[in-house]
Structure 1
Amino acid sequence: MDNKTHTTLLFSLLFFITHLTNASSKDQCNQNDKKTLLKIKKSLNNPYHLASWDPKSDCCAWNSLECDDATVNRRVISLTIFSAQISGQIPPEVGDLPYLQKLVFRKITNLTGQIPHTITKLKYLRFLRLSWTNLTGPVPEFLSQLMDLDYLNLSFNYFSGSIPSSLSLLPKLSYVDLSRNRLTGTIPESFGSFPGKVPDLFLSHNQLSGSIPKSLGNLNFNRIDFSRNKFIGDASMLFGANKTTFSIDLSRNMFQFDLSRVEIPNTFGILDLNHNGITGSIPVQWAETPFQIFNVSYNRLCGRIPTGGKLQTFDSYAYFHNKCLCGAPLDSCK
């Protein structure tokens, strides 16, 4: 074989390999996933936000989504649509992305309707964030079928009705945010018995009422925010010297308990109890706690504010409008 023939064969082989590589790279995305994504785009009225979703290109290169690391037939594992000018409802076809691990619709004010039941088909879903939208209806019971779910954020919507007790069945749940909705009723008793890790629990800015289930005292929460609801009664069971809690916000409710008897761990960074009916005095031991945020204003507390630690680093706004608290940063005790 002469050099010219050899060179021609080599170029032909290189062209074939390059063509094969290009062809496969254009088609790396699983075709069923691609068809589903195009249905989702159509259901959302072909928004400009999804302009990169061109059927002629590899869907793993499209904006707002992510595929797994396979070299061919890659599956869509993440769909994140954020801050988009989109009107309509969550397309039921999202349930036809069987390998989806992360689903986000966030800051889409014209997204309406309810959470589609088809979401229960997403057996690998770990991260669900539907926030800052106009979604309505109940927080669905069927979310408890998502057994891999670790993160649930439904904040800043218009969900109504009660909190489904079945959420406590999810074995991997570590974060629950239902704040800033229109939820009513009580905290489910079952929330005192999460089977796995104790989740961070954010329920603020709703219309929840009643007493806190005593069973919640059995758990070692890291972060709790029950602020701006209509809760009543005792919440002291949430505290404990042997816990590792970092943050509790119970502000703007109607809680009534004796603060003098409350013990807290030295892990506390944030404590906000303002606007309740809490009585007693601030325990002396609290002076050594490394608070970053602290507020007990608008309660019925009495006695001297403990000295010698962090409590004097907060201004009078953290303490005022109590029955008879005194000492720096308030007026001196008589």
Structure 2
Amino acid sequence: MKNSISLIAIISLLIFISLPTPSLSQRCNKNDENVLFQIKKSLGNPYLLASWQTTLDCCQWYLVKCNKTTGRIIELTIFSGNISGQIPPEVGNLPYLQTLVFRKLTNLTGQIPSTITKLTHLTMLRLSWTNLSGPVPSFLSQLTNLNFLDLSFNNLTGSVPPELAKLTKLGALHLDRNKLTGTIPESFGTFTENVPDLYLSHNQLTGDIPKSLGYLNFTVIDFSRNQLTGDFSMFFGINKTIQIADFSRNSFQFDLSDVVFPASLTSLDLNHNKVFGSLPETLTGLSLQYLNVSYNRLCDLQTFENTSYFHNRCLCGSPLPACA
């Protein structure tokens, strides 16, 4: 009896081994595959998506990535192709998506669809280098798992939504190279868990930087090429860890003399403002890789190339021309 059971077990094992291995066509989740076909159709069946065919498992399609265990689509990265139209609202029907990218698609137009809010697992959203227009939607604050949000190099207008401060896991926020107006939200001084690298350059933002931002410890700040005014010294101090700071080409106007720059600072650009006073002694001991304070109203020099100091009212002496 015992030998019979063993023989049956061996035969069963041999039969199992001899069965054909499931093909890759059985891996892809069919619901996700149907959604991808809808997206392809909405975009006009572009050549960039030529691999999206029924003859090939959707986990093997170009610009798509699946979870190896479940076969669910977790990444959709559409970039650098001849694609026209708008972001298909069907993207919201890929419930396990973690990364969504539409990038370097100059014929992509329209607004950011609200269906994106259904992507509760999304950690990266990158919609950049397109011709997207309309506002930066406040509904993006519902994507609470985001750690990277990039809406740069578009034609977005309107104000910066204060609700974005609810994205507590953000490591970086890119709203640069748009046509945004209004002020920097006071709420941006209330980020918790993470303090994101903040890129707001090349917009039309106005007003003073809210003092609340000084309560946080930023690593990278780029507010260059706006119409901002007032004082930005709240980002610096002996206990701060800021590394890169660009406030160039604004209308900042304050006395720089007593600002304490932290040892972490590696790059400082404040050219083309109305900053006055002298360069603080704390700049002397720093290992700065880049410094530009040109076109301000400063006095006193540190040892950097003369291009760093051009057009300040009373700066003279090496490396600039001798004082009169």
User: Which TM-score tier does this pair reach, normalised by the shorter chain?
Assistant: over 0.9
Please say if 1:45 is aligned against 2:35. Answer: no
- The amino acid of 2:22's aligned partner reads T
State whether structure 2 residue 246 is matched by structure 1 residue 280.
no
In the TM superposition, 1:18-37 aligns within 5 A as 18=20, 20-22=21-23, 25-37=24-36
1:83-232 pair list within 5 angstroms: 83-232=80-229
Deviating 4+ runs (over 2 angstroms): 12-16, 331-334
Name the structure 2 match of 1:323: 313
Matched residue, 1:17: 19
- Equivalents in 2 of 1:321, 1:86: separation in Å? 46
Equivalent of residue 74 in structure 1, options 64, 71, 76: 71
* 2:270 counterpart letter in structure 1: L
Per the TM alignment, residue 13 of structure 1 is displaced from its structure 2 partner at its CA by 5.0
C-alpha separation between the residues in 2 aligned to 1:285 and 1:120? Answer: 46
In structure 1, distance between residues paired with 2:198 and 2:169: 14
Structure 1: 5+ residue stretches without partners: 1-8, 307-311
Q: 1:44, 1:89 within 8 Å by CA — same for their partners in 2?
A: yes
Q: Does 1:305 align with 2:301?
A: yes
State whether structure 2 residue 243 is matched by structure 1 residue 255. Answer: no
SS class of match (1:209): strand
Identify which range, 102-111 or 320-329, moves more after superposition: 320-329
Paired residues of 1:67 and 1:77 also in contact (CA < 8 A)? yes
Q: What is the alpha-carbon distance in structure 2 between the residues aligned to residue 290 and residue 15 of structure 1?
A: 64
Residues 12-54 of structure 1: per-residue CA shift (max 9 Å, x gap): 9589622x422xx212011100000000000000000000000
Decide whether the 8 Å contact of 1:242 with 1:265 is kept in 2. Answer: yes
The one-character-per-residue Cα deviations of 1:76-111 (angstroms, maximum 9, x if unpaired) are: 000001101000000000000000000000000000
Preserved contact between residue 235 and residue 242 of structure 2 (Cα < 8 Å):
no
> Identity over the aligned pairs, expressed in percent?
59
- Amino acid across the alignment from 2:319: P
Question: Any idea what the Cα deviations from partners look like across 1:185-243, whole Å, max 9, x if unmatched?
Answer: 00000000102210000000000000000001101000000000000111111211210
**Is residue 245 of structure 1 aligned with residue 242 of structure 2?**
yes
Work out the CA distance in 1 between the residues paired with 2:18 and 2:132.
Answer: 51
Q: Note the aligned Cα RMSD (angstroms).
A: 1.6
Q: Deviations over 1:149-176 (max 9, x none)?
A: 1100000000000000000011211100
Q: Is the 8 A contact 1:38 1:55 kept in 2?
A: no
What is the one-letter code of the residue matched to 2:131?
Answer: N
Distance (Å, rounded) in 1 between the aligned partners of 2:164 and 2:205: 17
Structure 1: how far apart are the matches of 2:15 and 2:122?
44
Instruction: Number of aligned residue pairs: give it.
Output: 313
TM-score, L = length of structure 2: 0.93
Aligned to 1:152, the other structure's residue is in SS state: strand
